[in-house]
Structures are given as C-alpha cells and as structure tokens.
Structure 1
Amino acid sequence: MKQKSLYIAIVLALHCAVAVADNSIDSTQIDEVTVNGDGNNISGLTPCATPSNCKSPLGNSSVSGNNNTITSLTNYIITGSNNDLSFSYDPSQFWNDYANSFNVYGNNNTGTGLFDLNLVGSDNKVLGQNLAVMGYSNNVSGSALQVIGSYNELDMVGMGAILGSRNTATNYAGSIMGTFNTVSGGSYALTIGSLNNITAAPINDPSAVFKFGNITIGTINTIDSDESIVLGNYNTVSDDNAIVIGNYASASNGGISIGNGSFSNSADTVSFGSATVQRTLTNVADGSSRYDAVNYGQLMNS
C-alpha cells in the first residue's frame, strides 16, 4: 500500500511539474480579448492615428488555440495554433485609420504587413492587404487577392483570383485557374489550364500602362507577349497582339494562326496552315466590296 501511495505521489508530482505556459496579453490592446488556450502572446498597440476609429464595432477579439503570436491587430478571431500575425501600418494610407478585420482558422500560418485577412488552412505565408486565402502551404503577397488551393507561390501586385495549386505568379494582376502555371507580368489577364508558361510586361512597367494582358486557355502553351489570345495546347506565341487557335501552332509579330500546326509571323496576316500544311477555306460568300475575298466561283465567272 505504501509503495502504491508513493507511486501515485510521484505521478502527481511529475504532472504538477509540467508547466502550462501562460498567455501574455499587452495592456495596450484597444479591444477586449478573450483567450482560450495556452502560450499565446498578444501585444502591440494598433498604430492608428485615431484608435477609437480602429476599434472593432463590438470591441471584442478572440483567440482559441495555443502558441499564437498576435501583434498590433484589432477585430480578430483566431482559431488554431502556432499562428504568427502582425498588422500593416502606413500613415499615408487612409484605411489605416479605420477598423479592419482578421479571421484565421488553421495552424502554422505566418502573416506580416496585414490589413483585412480571411484565411482558412495551414502553413500559409501571407503578406498584404485585403486577402482571402483557403488552402495549405501557399506563399501569397499582394493586395485584393482571393486564393483557393495549395502550394501556390504568388507575388502579385493586386486584383487577382487564383483557383488551383502549384501556380507561380509574379508582377501579375489577373486570374489563374489550373495547376502548374508560371506567369510573370500582365494586367487584367486570364489563364485557364495547366503547365502554361506566360511572360508579359510587368504591371509596374510604365510602358505597359495601356496593355491589358493575355487570355490563355489550354495546356503547355508558351507565351512571351502582351495582349494576345491563345486557345489550345502546345502553342507558342511571341510578340504582342497575336492570336492562336489550335494545337502545336505559333504566331509572332502580331500574326493570327488558326488550326493545328498553323504558323504566322506577319502582322495583319491570318494563317490557316503552314508551308507544309495547307487548308481549304470553304463556304465563303461572294465578295461584294473592294476588300472582300473572292471565292472560286466568282473567279471562274469573271
């Protein structure tokens, strides 16, 4: 009996020896903060010119989880563990004087330079303003972005929507839907498909102010241009204002290629084939004005 009592005493002593990390809440917080968990560190006065404006309508924020580090946020709901999130403050931006919100559900997320964030997932790294992220292991930098997927690497200027995984985008403002796309540059652009490699003028390039990006739909297209349209697979486009519809086709210098294997390298030229592949254009109406095409029937009757 004495040995059993001694054993119980030792177990209780060991249990009591395991310290539970206390939560640390800075007294300068302008919100009332409710914390459920251990080891959370909440600090930093929101650097707002008018703190009363920055305070959330109800003045309440909450953290549920363990080992979260929250710095200079207001109006937040954090559910999860090991998140490290901090506020963005730029006195030149008017929005720094008004309430923002942070809703995070997940673990091991890191966020810096934040203003308005909605995040669901884990192991994400985010930087910027007005972000909505759902997924895992995304690395997102920019503003006004919506991301659904995983393992995306995005350094975008802003105004973008991403649906998919393992996409890489830099200096880009537009929409991507698919997987394994690599996009560098372009504004108001659209990419749908997989394994496309697209290079356009960076959105912050002064010479590209009036260029509105590319439209790419397909797989394994290689595009080095602005204001081009590609529909198909395995196509190649260089230079601006080109159009390709088909597969294994190419266009440059503003040319237009239509059909599989078509080739065009001259501006204001429409190609339906190549030097080795020709096609017949059928069901063409009789030309009636100076610049209309003449069909075979008209030619024979002339």
Structure 2
Amino acid sequence: MFNTYSKLIINQKFEFKLGKYSVICKIVDYCTFNLDQLSNNIHSHSCYELCFILKGKGIFTYNDVDYPIAAQDIILTDPYAYHAITCTNYDELFLLYVFIDIKCPDNSVPISSLEDSILEQFLKQHQCIHSKSSKIFTYLDFINNYSLYCSKFDYGLLQITKTLLMESFQYLTTSRTQSLSSNIPFTTLEKAQDYIDSNLHKKIYIEDIAKHCSISIRSLQYVFRKNLNTSIIEYINEHKIKLACHYLLNHFSIADTANLVGMPDISHFNKVFKKVTGFTPSQLQKIGTSNNGFGRRL
C-alpha cells in the first residue's frame, strides 16, 4: 500500500479540545529497524506513544510481555510504561510514531460529542495492540495522496490527522471487541471487515468476502446481521461513502471520488451517496466550502 510517505506531517505538533479533554499531539517521525539497528531497547515516555506499523514484522515488548507485530498493526504504550520494538527478520520494519498527551482540566464538564465519548472510553480501558487495522491505514494512504496536492501542513491534513487519531483510539478501546456477539467468532467478522476496508477502492463482491473468510455467503450474511444489525451491502456502501466524503471535502471532483471508491458509475454513486448521507455529493461540497474545508464529521 505504501510506496511513498508524506513528509508534511512529520514534526507537526497541534492541540485540539474535545469537550472536557485537551489533546496535544506530535507526529514525530518515521522509523526503520533492520540489521543495522535491530531494536530501540527498553525505554519509556511521559506521554502515550502510538505507532503505525507500515511494513515488515517484529516484536513489541510491553511490560515484559512480547507481542508479534506486522504491517497494518497499531500499537500503543501508556505513559511511563517500559517498552521496545525489535526487528525479527531480514526485512525492514518500518513505522510511524506519534506522541500524545491527553489532559482533563475540568471533570465537571459533561460528555458533549461522539469524540468526547470515544476518549472517555479509551482512557477507562484500552488495548496495547490492534492487529490488521486496515481501515486505519486507509487514512494514512489518503494523507499520502492528499499531500501530493499541497506544499505545507494545511487545514485538510490537520483534520484527517485528527480523524486518524480518533479512529485509532476507538480501535484500541477494549469495549469495541466486547460489544460483539460471542455466538459468532470475532475473527470471522474481523476478517470480513479487514477485507472490505482493504478494497474500498474497487468493486467488492460478497462471494469474494465469503471466500476470504472461508464460509458460505449465507453464513457471512448472518454474521453481519447478527453482530452489526446491517446487511453486507449496507456496510460496504457506508464505508465507501465515508471515504468518499473525505475526498469530496478535500476538493476532489465527484467523478474522481466515485472512481477512487470503486463506484465509477456516477448515477449509481450519487444514488448510494444520497441514501447513506441524506444529501448529494454536490451538496456536501457546498457544506464543506461554507465550513472552510474538512471540519465536518460524518
């Protein structure tokens, strides 16, 4: 997926408020582990460290426990927790790491938004690793593509980076997996979701998802209806349109956006878009312009 890497987001530090929370974020740098530097050795930080594994395989040591890691994993270390990353084979282990500080200056302020609620749940309980986070890496892929059209870290990059962080918090929140039905193995649903997230740029066939998950189409449909209360087609369309919104709000044409999400038929794209969002692609572009760009969460 990653053939080029945006340098515009490196060393960017920004702060944003979500209800009672203040989030300070610094995107530090890309980092490579190989035969010349196998590990960064055991260390700790005074803030959260979030890492996106872009390429390769390795071991994430966290509080004396070793976790295997690979491309499209995200890993998190808590403040002052001892950790290390080690390359385990001849391939380079390539990652992007971010420092995050979350403050709550006023506990009396109630939760006021979805993002506020996500942070609340994240701080209560979260995992240190989430494997095969294909959807998260779609945002990084978008950042790389978007960077081709700008020369500096602008409002659009800021907003998509904030969305990347919020989605990562949500993925790492332990309750996300606990909310799924125990009657169907989580791995089946996760495999299907990862396949869909990795193929949003093209037409997705249900039979291909079923084959990827090694189950029948009927069983796959049951998994989605039982656990997510939605059909597979509705799930695919919702995620394609969510990605389309990011493109449209960053000045991509409707035709280009339709192609980028695997819906080259403009008429069909407009129909699905209206069904999912309640308005047309052109109406969203006008909303984005009136809100000075990419600030609306859909």
Shorter-chain TM-score tier: under 0.3
Give the alignment's TM-score, normalised by structure 1. Answer: 0.23
Structure label with greater radius of gyration: 1
Q: Which has the higher contact order (CA 8 A, sep 6+)?
A: 2
More helix by share: 2
More strand by share: 1
Give the alignment's TM-score, normalised by structure 2. Answer: 0.24
